[in-house]
Every structure is written in C-alpha cells, then in structure tokens.
Amino acid sequence: MTIRITRRAVLGASAAFAATPAVLRAQQIFKDYPFRLGVASGDPSPDGFVIWTRLAPDPLDQHGGMPMAPIEVEWEVARDENLRDIAASGTALARPELAHSVHVEVAGLEPGRPYWYRFNIGRERSTRGKARTLPRVGASIDRVRFAVAGCQHYEDGYFTAFRHLAEEDPEFVFHYGDYIYEYRSSPLRIGWDGRPRTFVRAHEGQALYDLGDYRQRYAQYKMDPDLQMAHAAAPWFASFDDHEVENNWVGLQDQQDTPPELFALRRAMALQAWYEHMPVRRSSLPGQNGIADYRRARFGGLLDLHVLDTRSFRSDQPCDDGFKTVCDGVRDPQASVLGEAQERWLFDNLQNGGARWNAIAQQVMVMPLDRRTGDEPEEIRNMDSWGAYDVPRERLLQQLRGKNAVVLTGDEHQTFAGELRTDAGEGEAVAVEFVTSSISSGGDGADVRNGADRIAARNPFLKFTGDRRGYTLCEVTPENWQSAFRIVRSVTTPDAPIDTLATATVPAGESALIVG
C-alpha cells in the first residue's frame, strides 16, 4: 500500500500541532512530591468508578507549584492490594485549566468487588487507594455498609473522625457537603451559645471570592492526613452544601445582597474548584448554566441511592433566613427546594425503582423542628431547612409513602433521628430521617446540648439528639436499616478515640425508629 503525503496534509497537521499546547511528559521530574493532596475515588457504577488526584508539589502556591502546561499522568487499577494483577491502565492529562486535577472514569471492570489504584508520573508514585464497583442492578445482595459524613471546619477541630471512618472499611461514603468553609481566619471562635470555643488551626488566605481563593482553601484541607485516609479507603458520593460557595446561598442569591449576575460569577468559580477537587464524573462539571449534580446509584435490588442538590434550584429562604418565627412565606405554594426538573427526576425514580430501600441523600433537615428552647410564644424554625418550605416538603413526603425511605442529612452540626410525618409533623409517619453530626464544625460539643429537652418535648416525631462530632455508619439488609452514630468526644485535641453514641434501627416496611 502506498501512502501519499500531500502539502495540504502536512500544513493541516502542522496547524493542528501548533494549536495543541505542549505536553510535559513523565521524563520531567518534579523537585517536590507532586501527589501531596492524595488520591480519591467516587461515583462507582457496576463496571467502574472515578479515580482522582491533583498535581500540586507546592499546594498553597497560586498554581500549586505547577507550570502552565498539561502534564501526562499514568494511572493503573488492580484486582489486588499490591497492584500486580492490573485490570485497567492508561494515561490522562492534568490540565492547568482544572488546576492540574485528573478525573479518570474507569470502565469495563467486574461488578461488586474491590479494586486498588494509583497514579504515576516519572519516578513519582501516588499513595494507593481502594475503590469498589457496585453490584449489578437488580442483583440479590444481603448487605450494604456505608458511612455518612460532612461539615469539616478546619479551624474548629482536627479531622480525627475521618481516620476512624477509614478504619471502618465502608463500601462507600456519602459526603453531604460543607467540605470547606469560605471564611477568613478567625482565631476568636464563638459557639452557638455565644461563648468562646477553642481555636485549633488557622485558615490560609482571605475570605473566598475568586477561583484562586477557593483552590488554595481546598488544597489546605486536602493536605490533612486523616481526610486523605478517608478518601483512599472507599469511593465517595460527594455533594455540596452552602460553605463550598457562601453561607446559606440558594440559587443566585447570597446573604450579602450581591447582584445576582455578580454572585453567579463567584458561584461559578466556587463550583469549578469543587469539581477540581472531588472524585466526580464529567457530568458534574459546571457549565454556563450552573451545575446539575443530582444523580442516582443502585446497589443490586437492595438499595437505591438518590443524591440531591438542595442549593442550586431552591427559592429564597422566607422570614429573612436564620432561626426565625414562622411567617407566611413558610406556606408559600410557589416555593421550591429541588426545582421542577430535579423534583420530577426524583419522583420518577421513586415510582420506577424497585429496590428494597430508598436512600434520599441530601443536605438540609427535612423534619420541621420547632426550635424554641425557652418561653417564646410563637413557633421558631430553621429557615435554611425544609422546615421553611411546607408545600414542597409535603409533596416530597407524599412520594416517600410506602417506599421504605430513609433520608440522610447533615448541616446541623448535631445528630438527630426522627420520623418524617405529614401535615407539618402532626400526621402520618411515612419515612425516617437521620441527621449526621459534623466532622469538626462546632468544636467539641457536649453530651447534651442546652435546650435539647425542650426541643424534644415540642417535637414528638424527634426520637434522638446528640451534640458530639463524628459520622454515621449505616448497615442495610433486606430486614433492617441500622445507623450507628459514631462520635469523638474531642476535636480540639488530636487522636481522640471513637465511640458509639447510639444505634437506631428501622424495620423494613415501617416508618418507625428503635433507638438503643
């Protein structure tokens, strides 16, 4: 066969080459270790998962100590812990446009089994991570065991709970958000009760407004060794709440009356940085119209996991936000938490699922708690929760009826367990909710928070509260859902031991809790 090379072909090839930025290959050796932010995996499916890293030899530098050029990174996934039986391998480009992060969507693997992975560049090797593929959709499985965590304020405490979480060896982690906090450093820490609390370690940089700010903050958090252990131990389903952008933001509204078109710019940069640092699929890459990060994962015929976004599409909080006396806006029939498209997606999933259990994995409390702890004459609710949105909450509860549904929530920096009842908590129980405490946000906490007895008395659907920091470990079988509230008694001192505060059980077919 004769190949004829024309002048036009040469010119075309030259133009294409000129348009492609130079790729710095593995022969170039880094002065400092490039994998200082660790590795992570996420969004597993029956045939694969995402594996992530970010090249950053100088993580707190403006560009992580990296040149402004793509870098070729090798990756490998193995069936064994020693990475000798290679199941998949390849190369990926770490691009400066995405802070030299790498998101490899590995496919073609066997369902329902563990794998191990790492990245290489030149003579440099990353740490090893462990991931697990999902069982085949509809497959008969007898157990799923996973963890729920979030709210990890760097200045409030050490991430010791993440080390313990890693040692639990969960099949996956649902992270409900508040991965970073956007505040500038504040050595004088004031608790919810107005009292100073222990200052542990300082944020680098200013309050976060531009892409460089957010990237630096993620880098600082990701250098924490306990957080790196939790990422390397299991795949994550990562979501975001408010502090990845700005406190209590919803839609294109912040709490500082910033013009929406300007807040849209800040939100876009914040969510780009979130994508750059999370082990999520390319479908979660923010675009001109924001982000569509709600998604679904199915664990055989046992569990259907629905990961929601309760920030991007929500209407403004009523009653001027905060913990406020209930106003007419709470009953606004036009209010929304999920937005029309996401709500329809969720309700369709619930109607056409077929799994034994449904997990609604999201960010803010659904129970409409009356927050009065004194003699206040009128009901007080958290306006940044589903408790401030009566109409969309009732729509959700109607869809959860008969679905063996468990709602997984965070944001409150406390542990709560309760029944989800219709008619603002006074009607029929149709599901249960577990609110997971923070990893560190809020400081050490207490065995019992002041006023907890009064809140329990005013809210008979609330079955348990706790005020220590930690995570929730869930074990789901066809017969029962069991959630163990795992806590450390101190986050202001390192290496605190782990303990079980309480265990709550939900029998299949019931919307009731047994707490012991």
- Report the pLDDT value the prediction gives residue 185, as an integer from 0 to 100: 92
Say if CB 514 and CB 500 are below 8 A apart: no
Band the pLDDT of 28: cuts 50, 70, 90: low
Residue 2's pLDDT band, with cuts at 50, 70 and 90, is very low
Q: Kindly indicate the confidence band of residue 307, based on its pLDDT and cuts at 50, 70 and 90.
A: very high
Average pLDDT, the chain: 93
Q: Which two tokens stand for residue 213?
A: 């700010």
Residue 148 CA to residue 307 CA, distance in Å, equals: 12
Mean pLDDT (whole number) for 427-448: 96
Question: Residue 198 — left, alpha, or beta (φ > 0 → left; ψ -120 to 50 → alpha)?
Answer: beta
| pLDDT tens sequence across 106-117 | 999 999 999 999
pLDDT attached to residue 461: 97
Q: Can you give the pLDDT at residue 452?
A: 94
What is the pLDDT averaged over residues 401-409? Answer: 97
Residue 372 CA from chain centroid, whole number: 30
pLDDT on residue 29: 65
Average pLDDT for 194-199: 80
Percent of the residues in the chain that have a pLDDT greater than 70, as a whole number: 94
pTM of the model as a whole: 0.94
Using 50, 70 and 90 to split pLDDT, how confident is the model at 13?
very low
Question: pLDDT (tens digit, 9 = 90+) per residue, 45-75?
Answer: 999 999 999 999 999 999 999 999 999 999 9
Mean pLDDT in residue range 442-447 = 92
State how far the Cα of 203 lies from the Cα of 117, in Å rounded to an integer. 31
**Structure confidence at residue 22 as a pLDDT band (50, 70, 90):** low
Domains, the chain, with CATH or none = 39-132 (2.60.40.380), 144-515 (3.60.21.70)
Q: What is the pLDDT of residue 25?
A: 60
Token output for 325: 């006396």
- How do residues 313-351 score in pLDDT, each as one tens digit? 999 999 999 999 999 999 999 999 999 999 999 999 999
Query: What pLDDT, on the 0 to 100 scale, is given for residue 3?
Result: 30
Interval 377-387 mean pLDDT: 97
Question: With 0-12 CB in 10 A as exposed, 13-18 as middle and 19+ as buried, what is 2?
Answer: exposed
Strands 124-125 and 114-121: antiparallel
Whether residue 102 has pLDDT greater than 70: yes
In a 3-state reduction of DSSP, which class is residue 472? strand
- pLDDT class of 20 with cuts at 50, 70, 90: very low
Q: How confident is the model over 197-254, as pLDDT tens digits?
A: 788 999 999 999 999 999 999 999 999 999 999 999 999 999 999 999 999 999 999 9
pLDDT classification of 421: cutoffs 50, 70, 90:
very high
Question: Percent of the chain at pLDDT above 90?
Answer: 88
- The amino acid sitting at 501 is L
Q: Are 207 and 180 in contact (CB under 8 A)?
A: no
Residue with tokens 């609604």: 360
Q: Does residue 24 have a pLDDT over 80?
A: no
Q: What does the block give as tokens for 27? A: 């022969």
